[in-house]
Amino acid sequence: MAVGIFDSGIGGLTVLDAVTRRLPDLPLVYLGDNAHAPYGVRTHDDIFNLTCAAVERLWAEGCDLVILACNTASAAALKRMQETWVPADKRVLGVFVPMIEALTERQWGDNSPPREVAVRHVALFATPATVASRAFQRELAFRAIGVDVEAQPCGGVVDAIEQGDEILAEALVRSHVEALMRRMPHPQAAVLGCTHYPLMETTFQDALGPDVKVFSQANLVAESLADYLVRRPEMLGAGTDSKFLTTGDPKAVSSKSTQFLRRRITFEAA
């Protein structure tokens, strides 16, 4: 009954942590493609091929349902995967839709026509590849009309977080927020469109100011997954064991991840 969670690096551990709290009895298999991270500067074809290979590895672990806890993969690869590659008995879901449903105050799975919503000016902070894909704007347009989105590619932030350089990460976040607010001085809401960014949520909030509502993904994705599994219990795979897999150096990734989540995490080679 295991569910797979995939990220290009360790940022998706924020999603895994939230899912573990929400569904403590659900076995989870996490795969980090640390050997090829970061994805945010790769081409869409490269991201597609790497993501498909990772998802196949999680299917081999008995995870018929895989969550792409990676905004770049969700933005650059998911639609193509769902339309051309995923077989009928498997599911691959992304992390954008739960956040957009929360932003537009929709219930999970509400497929009614797009409508006007209270939030009209939204700041999106994401990797360069996610921004270039315009996937967030596309998904938002399915659910809301009249929303102005200003997107800021946040180069360097993921690398700084993965390297444990909090001072550099904070400086980069503040720089990116300043750059966006020169173009959109008064956003009503900000979307942290990368699963690494919750670790910098306080800095984003401080730089944006108290009047901007910051939307972070992990808890929203966990709640959405819980709802999905109630509706589609048949998508629970045959896997029974929780484990952490990496394409990188297991010892190094375990050390980084333990610091990242502040609890002991042990990876094995994928």
pLDDT of residue 106: 82
Distance CA(199)–CA(201), nearest Å, equals 6
Has 194 been annotated as catalytic? yes
Distance CA(166)–CA(180), nearest Å, equals 21
* Beta strands across the sheet bearing 268-269: 91-93, 65-68, 3-7, 28-32, 243-246, 268-269
Intervals of the chain under pLDDT 70 = 108-109
**Helices (runs of H) and strands (runs of E) counted in the chain:** 12, 12
pLDDT of residue 108: 62
**Alpha helix positions (H), the chain:** 13-22, 44-60, 71-76, 78-84, 96-103, 128-133, 135-141, 157-162, 166-183, 201-208, 218-231, 250-261
Has 154 been annotated as catalytic? no
Distance CA(177)–CA(204), nearest Å, equals 7
Q: Which long-range contacts (CB under 8 A, 24 or more apart) does 208-215 make?
A: 208/123, 208/177, 208/181, 212/123, 212/187, 212/188, 213/119, 213/188, 213/189, 214/189, 214/190, 215/99, 215/102, 215/103, 215/189, 215/190, 215/191
As a dihedral over the C-alpha atoms of residue 35, residue 41, residue 47, residue 50, rounded to 10 degrees, the angle is -10
CA angle 121, 127, 133 (to 5 degrees): 75
Contact 252, 39 (CB under 8 A): no
Count CA atoms closer than 13 A to 209's CA, side-chain side.
10
Please state the length of the chain.
270
Q: Which of 67, 63, 6 is nearest to 239 (CA)?
A: 63
Q: 52, 63, 70, 154: which is the annotated catalytic residue? A: 70
Distance CA(14)–CA(3), nearest Å, equals 15
pLDDT of residue 259: 85
pLDDT of residue 237: 83
Q: 52, 63, 154, 194: which is the annotated catalytic residue? A: 194
As a dihedral over the C-alpha atoms of residue 226, residue 126, residue 246, residue 56, rounded to 10 degrees, the angle is 60
pTM, rounded to two decimals: 0.88
The domains of the chain, with CATH numbers, are: 3-95+218-269 (3.40.50.1860), 97-215 (3.40.50.1860)
Question: Which pLDDT tens digit goes with each residue over 203-235?
Answer: 999 999 999 999 988 989 999 999 999 999 999
Tell me how crowded residue 232 is: count the other CB atoms within 10 A of its CB.
Answer: 11
Contact 12, 195 (CB under 8 A): yes
- Residue 98, CA distances (Å) to 38, 52, 77, 255 in order: 23, 22, 17, 30
